[in-house]
């Protein structure tokens, strides 16, 4: 068997070409000792600033675990903050989620980056405290009862950080520095809320090796949801701190990574800003981060005492690179390609009844099914029993139809087939009273287009894709956040005479918003 050092050395040679871009940095630790500390390429390709282990980097959503760490450190019983959460949702017509619901992404709130698209925000528009406060305070309904389901919601953590600042009378940057960074030895970590620039000139890049790279334009103000900047050395210090305190049940990371449940007692895979999943069959906790031009991932395997950190200032898959590094550390053999399996007879289009979202299934390869439902397309492995699955989704025929299980969301449902050609008499303007926002459907030369508008501007018109009878998809290929919210499902409702009386708009991050025709 190839030695560990040889495997890691070979992988370091391959990584820059396997995940091409201006620059990157990776670290691997075992039992608190650094096995790899490596950086390559350029932090700023135009100014020829090298990427080094000291280069500052946007950690993006990895911030969420630190925000939750502040909550637990300052308020060991987060329920004392429940009233503060309710106060920030003045128009909510349902019982407000608790602070713990926010920590676990079980709040039922619709994600504000997705809702911003419904308000007509262009992808590169400014979005700061004023815009965030208006979107958050405007929530009148939830898209599920708090505690019953999981949905990724960035403003959960923005709300928590705002509450922390108000409760303690100290800024988030100061709280992070004194309560976490200093204790963990993260000497250069900081709150870098303004996404337009990093203090040391590091740039994030969009594009590809074949088409070229360009500096990504971001104009968002991020706080407790994704605002931390840190270098590789800072993240190494964090991983060392995690490993050094692993046996203390009262240590911060022990509390952050402790088991979390849904309201019905079912074990949840997400809590306190951390995913709790398996990597190569081993228990792991961690999180990824992304903004246009930036991708990162960190994970910790407690039984193996292994930590992986990956940072790219481009859009290559940081999680896949982290798994490559983990494979090398564990000495796992590469999986052999499985034999092809016949194409299943359940491919097609469906509607998921609880969320009201379209489900589109087609073959991605001879053994992979492409699922379009969430905010990114998923690829599921076909199995000999006629089912298909990935790490977080399973499709299985039986009990009167095709079922979709998404255990990370505590959800299982029988999909409703959606067959037939949609009617095209849907052009017009439709208004959502809750958002005070409009979707416009236009017949532009026998082709239907749609676009959103609201207090943030006028979004671009996109060609609608037919899904089924009175169901269309409105693509959202770009958004304020790195990952667009996914295709919006437009479900039109007709009256007794057959005319359109309204529609429901939703995506996985923001579901079941009702629009009425503007007469």
Q: Return the DSSP state at 482.
A: S
d(CA 491, CA 16): 44
d(CA 502, CA 513): 11
CA–CA distances in Å: residue 198 to residues 58, 207, 216, 218, 440: 8, 20, 13, 11, 38
- The contacts of residue 6 (CB under 8 Å, 6+ apart) are none
* 134 phi and psi angles, rounded to 5 deg: -70, -45
What pLDDT score does 333 carry?
72
In 375-509, where do the E strands start and end?
Answer: 378-382, 388-389, 394-398, 401-406, 411-414, 416-417, 428-432, 437-443, 448-454, 457-458, 462-463, 465-468, 471-474, 488-494, 500-507
d(CA 102, CA 123): 26
What pLDDT score does 386 carry?
93
* 57 phi and psi angles, rounded to 5 deg: -140, 145
d(CA 117, CA 90): 22
Identified catalytic residue from 3, 5, 64, 389: 64
Helix axes 129-137, 155-168, angle to 10 degrees: 110
In 216-355, where do the E strands start and end?
Answer: 228-230, 260-261, 267-268, 270-271, 274-279, 282-291, 294-301, 306-312, 348-352
Terminal alpha carbon distance of the chain:
73
Q: What is the pLDDT along the chain (519 residues), one digit of tens a residue?
A: 578 989 999 999 999 999 999 999 999 999 999 999 999 999 999 999 999 999 999 999 999 999 999 999 999 999 999 999 999 999 999 999 999 999 999 999 999 999 999 999 999 999 999 999 999 999 999 999 999 999 999 999 999 999 999 999 999 999 999 999 999 999 999 999 999 889 999 999 999 999 999 999 999 999 999 999 999 999 999 999 999 999 999 999 999 999 999 999 999 999 999 999 999 999 999 999 999 999 999 999 999 999 999 999 999 999 999 999 999 999 987 666 677 788 999 999 999 999 999 999 999 988 999 999 998 899 999 999 999 999 889 999 998 999 999 999 999 999 999 988 889 999 999 999 999 999 999 999 989 999 999 999 999 999 999 999 999 999 999 899 888 999 999 999 999 999 999 999 999 999 999 999 998
Identified catalytic residue from 5, 61, 98, 413: 61
d(CA 506, CA 109): 13
Torsion of CA 148, 149, 150, 151, to 10 degrees: -120
Query: Three-class SS of residue 394?
Result: strand
CA atoms within 13 A of residue 241's CA, in its CB half-sphere: 16
Catalytic site includes residue 64: yes
> What is the model's pTM?
0.96
List, in sequence order, the alpha helices (H) in 245-368.
Answer: 252-256, 318-330
d(CA 105, CA 90): 20
158 Cα distance to chain centroid = 15
- The contacts of residue 312 (CB under 8 Å, 6+ apart) are 19, 21, 23, 24, 294, 295, 296, 318, 321
148 and 409 Cβ atoms separated by less than 8 Å: no
All domains of the chain, ordered by start, with CATH? 4-74+172-330 (3.40.710.10), 348-417 (2.40.128.50), 428-517 (2.40.128.50)
Catalytic site includes residue 379: no
167 Cα distance to chain centroid = 28
């Amino acid at each position: 068997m190839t030695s560990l050092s040889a495997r890691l050395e070979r992988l370091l040679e391959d990584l820059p070409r396997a995940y091409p871009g201006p620059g990157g940095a990776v670290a691997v630790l075992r039992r608190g000792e650094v096995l790899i500390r490596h950086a390559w390429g350029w932090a700023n390709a135009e100014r020829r600033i090298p990427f080094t282990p000291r280069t500052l980097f946007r950690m993006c959503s990895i911030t969420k675990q630190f925000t939750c760490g502040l909550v637990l450190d300052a308020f060991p019983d987060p329920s004392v903050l429940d009233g503060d959460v309710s106060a920030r949702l003045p128009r909510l017509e349902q019982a407000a989620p608790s602070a713990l619901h926010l920590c676990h992404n079980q709040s039922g709130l619709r994600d504000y980056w997705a809702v911003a698209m419904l308000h007509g925000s262009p992808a590169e528009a400014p979005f700061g405290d004023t815009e965030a406060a208006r979107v958050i305070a405007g929530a009148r309904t939830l898209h599920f009862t708090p505690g019953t389901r999981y949905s990724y919601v960035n403003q959960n953590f923005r709300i928590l950080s705002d509450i922390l600042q108000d409760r303690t009378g100290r800024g988030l940057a100061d709280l992070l520095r004194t309560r976490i960074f200093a204790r963990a030895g993260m000497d250069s970590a900081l709150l870098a809320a303004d996404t337009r620039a990093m203090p040391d000139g590091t740039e994030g890049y969009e594009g590809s090796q074949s088409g070229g790279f360009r500096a990504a334009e971001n104009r968002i103000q991020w706080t407790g949801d994704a605002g931390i900047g840190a270098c590789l050395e800072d993240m190494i210090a964090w991983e060392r701190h995690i490993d050094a305190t692993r046996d203390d049940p009262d240590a911060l990371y022990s509390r952050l990574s402790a088991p979390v449940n849904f309201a019905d007692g079912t074990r949840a895979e997400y809590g306190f800003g951390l995913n709790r999943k398996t990597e190569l069959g081993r228990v792991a906790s961690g999180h990824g981060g992304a903004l246009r031009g930036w991708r990162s991932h960190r994970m910790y395997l407690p039984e193996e005492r292994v930590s992986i950190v990956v940072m790219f200032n481009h859009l290559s898959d940081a999680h896949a690179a982290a798994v490559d590094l983990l494979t090398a550390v564990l000495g796992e053999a590469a999986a052999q390609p499985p034999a092809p399996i016949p194409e299943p007879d359940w491919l097609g289009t469906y509607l998921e009844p609880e969320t009201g979202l379209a489900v589109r299934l087609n073959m991605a390869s001879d053994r992979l099914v492409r699922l379009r439902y969430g905010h990114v397309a998923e690829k599921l492995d076909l199995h000999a029993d006629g089912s298909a699955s990935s790490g977080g989704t399973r499709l299985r025929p039986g009990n009167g139809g095709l079922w979709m299980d998404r255990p990370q969301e505590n959800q299982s449902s029988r999909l409703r087939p959606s067959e037939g050609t949609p009617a095209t008499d849907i052009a017009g303007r439709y208004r959502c009273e809750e958002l005070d926002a409009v979707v416009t459907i236009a017949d532009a030369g026998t082709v239907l287009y749609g676009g959103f508008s609201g207090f943030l501007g006028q979004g671009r018109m996109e060609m609608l894709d037919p899904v089924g009878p009175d169901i269309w998809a409105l693509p959202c290929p770009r958004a304020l956040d790195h990952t667009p919210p996914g295709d919006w499902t437009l479900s039109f409702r007709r009256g007794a005479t057959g005319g359109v009386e309204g529609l429901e708009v939703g995506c996985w991050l923001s579901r079941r918003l009702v629009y009425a025709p503007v007469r």
